[in-house]
């Protein structure tokens, strides 16, 4: 079934009797050519691209809970390609280009909204770093603009220009950045994958790998053993737990990141704004809620919830940056478990076990990567070779010293 305005009108006039399930709930088969572990954004996008782009068949996505119930449904929905390093920027720009056509490809409105991201700077040194980054973006074919203080004021007059501890000096603007509806992304990929024959198995937790002679044969699950030709793991915050079942230790720690949404308010914030002198970023959803966040709590956690000091820190940052939001009320806060890697950049690679592939280490920034991560992981699974934009995301980069450390803070995940 194709979605369209016409279909919406027709169903509205005929009592909505024609809508079909967005996806099937098939029974698990005994064997698949390719199994993707993790029904988050990356797993679903991978399955979609395997079927739609790389012509693969007999594919299953195994999700321990409900599809889209992990970080894909918990994030603050920012998409952008404003990275500095050559290992990253081409990948994220590839992702941005995929965002720009995904809804038509998936026949699902994921509300990709390019309302821009404005990163503020508060010192000359920060501005110099932005200049270096903005230039790197342009050189990689992305868009970027450097705004001075007046330029920022024109875009966001409600920021604290008069009484700030750290005055706003300017900002780096990427107009093509913005937000997308997180659930819509998961559902869009799930539906499109399902339509192309992918079996999405919900409530199917992988509890072990069957590995014989260094080759993966299948997975043990809460719904029984399922054989597989290849297995791709894309479980985000659970990376450590799952790969440990295959005997692997990873350069990853799991940390909690909190997110916040306010009550619905008439729109005042046009795009995404990030504070450069504190931990705060914000956008306003199409429903009117201010969606905001800040730093990770900073300690290893699988608890999917955080603590009060970070809540206060984020609110302080928000109030310092835009005191007009004081009377907005925080409606909900929640946490997600982040796969924080040792250099802050992801891993998309084969492993020492033949047929077992790993996708993870996305930190707090994997939502924007969803389309490209799916594409590149599918490329790797289908062809055995990394996609050119993801070639730097190797597991052995740590041993070899080719880390991709955007922030320059070294092997300490809670600082990335």
Ligand X SMILES: Cc1cc2nc3c(=O)[nH]c(=O)nc-3n(C[C@H](O)[C@H](O)[C@H](O)COP(=O)(O)OP(=O)(O)OC[C@H]3O[C@@H](n4cnc5c(N)ncnc54)[C@H](O)[C@@H]3O)c2cc1C
The site partner of 293 among another protein, ligand X, none (C-beta below 5 to 8 Å per kind) is ligand X
Selected from 49, 64, 133, 416, the binder of ligand X by CB under 6 A is 64
Distance CA(287)–CA(125), nearest Å, equals 37
Q: Which is nearer to ligand X, 19 or 66 (CB)?
A: 66
Name which of residues 293 to 322 contact ligand X (CB under 6 A): 293
Q: Which is nearer to another protein, 53 or 307 (CB)?
A: 307
Neighbouring residues of 350: CB distance < 8 A, sequence distance ≥ 6: 356, 357, 358, 380, 384
Name which of residues 223 to 252 contact ligand X (CB under 6 A): 234-238, 242
Name which of residues 109 to 138 contact another protein (CB under 8 A): 109-115, 122-123, 125, 127-136, 138
First and final CA of the chain: distance in angstroms? 43
Q: Residues 360, 366, 370, 372: what is their CA dihedral angle, to the nearest 10 degrees?
A: -80
Selected from 36, 51, 60, 72, the binder of ligand X by CB under 6 A is 72
Selected from 259, 269, 403, 404, the binder of ligand X by CB under 6 A is 259
Name which of residues 147 to 206 contact another protein (CB under 8 A): 158, 160, 163-167, 181, 183-184, 187-188, 202
279 lies in the site for another protein, by CB under 8 A: no
Distance CA(61)–CA(48), nearest Å, equals 10
Selected from 29, 329, 383, 384, the binder of another protein by CB under 8 A is 329
CB 376 within 8 A of CB 389: yes
Half-sphere exposure of 19 (CA within 13 A, CB side): 12
Q: Which is nearer to ligand X, 156 or 201 (CB)?
A: 201
Distance CA(141)–CA(291), nearest Å, equals 29
Q: Which is nearer to ligand X, 137 or 257 (CB)?
A: 257
Half-sphere exposure of 346 (CA within 13 A, CB side): 32
Selected from 34, 37, 376, 381, the binder of ligand X by CB under 6 A is 37
Neighbouring residues of 113: CB distance < 8 A, sequence distance ≥ 6: 178, 179, 180, 286
90 lies in the site for ligand X, by CB under 6 A: no
Q: Which is nearer to another protein, 24 or 385 (CB)?
A: 24
Distance CA(50)–CA(266), nearest Å, equals 41
Enumerate the β-bridge partners of residue 290.
Answer: 284
Q: Which is nearer to ligand X, 219 or 277 (CB)?
A: 219
CB of 165 to another protein, least distance (A): 4
Nearest alpha-carbon partner for 338 in 67, 75, 95 = 75
Selected from 33, 103, 145, 205, the binder of ligand X by CB under 6 A is 205
Tell me which residues touch ligand X (CB under 6 A): 37-43, 62-65, 69-72, 74-78, 205-206, 234-238, 242, 257, 259, 293, 336, 338, 362, 364-368
């Amino acid at each position: 079934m194709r979605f369209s305005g016409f279909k919406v009108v027709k169903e509205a006039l005929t009592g909505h009797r024609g809508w079909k399930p967005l996806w099937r709930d098939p029974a698990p088969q005994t064997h698949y050519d390719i199994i993707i572990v993790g029904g988050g954004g990356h797993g679903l996008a991978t399955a979609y691209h395997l079927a739609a782009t790389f012509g693969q068949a007999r594919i299953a996505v195994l999700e321990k809970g409900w599809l889209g119930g992990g970080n894909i449904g918990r994030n603050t929905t920012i998409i952008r390609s404003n990275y500095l390093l050559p290992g990253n920027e081409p990948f994220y720009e590839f992702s941005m280009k995929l965002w720009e056509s995904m809804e038509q490809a998936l026949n699902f409105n994921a509300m990709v909204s390019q309302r821009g991201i404005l990163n503020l700077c508060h010192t000359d040194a920060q501005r110099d770093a932005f200049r270096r980054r903005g230039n790197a973006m342009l050189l990689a074919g992305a868009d970027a603009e450097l705004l001075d203080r007046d330029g920022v004021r024109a875009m966001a007059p409600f920021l604290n220009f008069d009484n700030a501890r750290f005055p706003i000096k300017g900002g780096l603007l990427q107009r093509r950045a913005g937000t997308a509806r997180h659930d819509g992304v998961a559902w869009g990929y799930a539906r499109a994958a399902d339509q192309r024959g992918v079996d999405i198995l919900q409530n199917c937790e992988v509890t072990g790998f069957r590995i014989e002679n260094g080759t993966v044969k299948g997975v043990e699950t809460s719904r029984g053993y399922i054989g597989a030709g290849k297995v791709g793991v894309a479980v985000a915050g659970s990376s450590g737990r799952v790969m440990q079942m295959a005997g692997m230790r990873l350069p990853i720690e799991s940390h909690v990141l909190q997110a916040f949404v306010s009550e619905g308010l008439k729109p005042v914030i046009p795009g995404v704004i990030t504070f450069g002198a504190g931990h705060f970023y914000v956008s306003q959803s199409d429903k009117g809620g201010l969606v905001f966040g800040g730093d990770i709590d900073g300690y290893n956690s699988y608890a999917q919830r955080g603590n009060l000091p970070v809540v206060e820190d984020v609110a302080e940052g928000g109030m310092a940056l835009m005191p007009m939001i004081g009377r907005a009320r925080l409606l909900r806060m929640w946490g997600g478990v982040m796969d924080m890697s040792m250099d802050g950049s992801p891993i998309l690679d084969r492993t020492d076990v033949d047929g077992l592939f790993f996708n993870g280490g996305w930190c707090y920034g994997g939502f924007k990567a969803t389309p490209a991560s799916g594409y590149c992981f599918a490329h790797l699974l289908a062809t055995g070779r990394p996609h050119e934009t993801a070639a730097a995301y190797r597991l052995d980069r740590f041993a070899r010293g080719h880390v991709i450390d955007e922030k320059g803070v070294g092997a300490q995940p809670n600082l990335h």
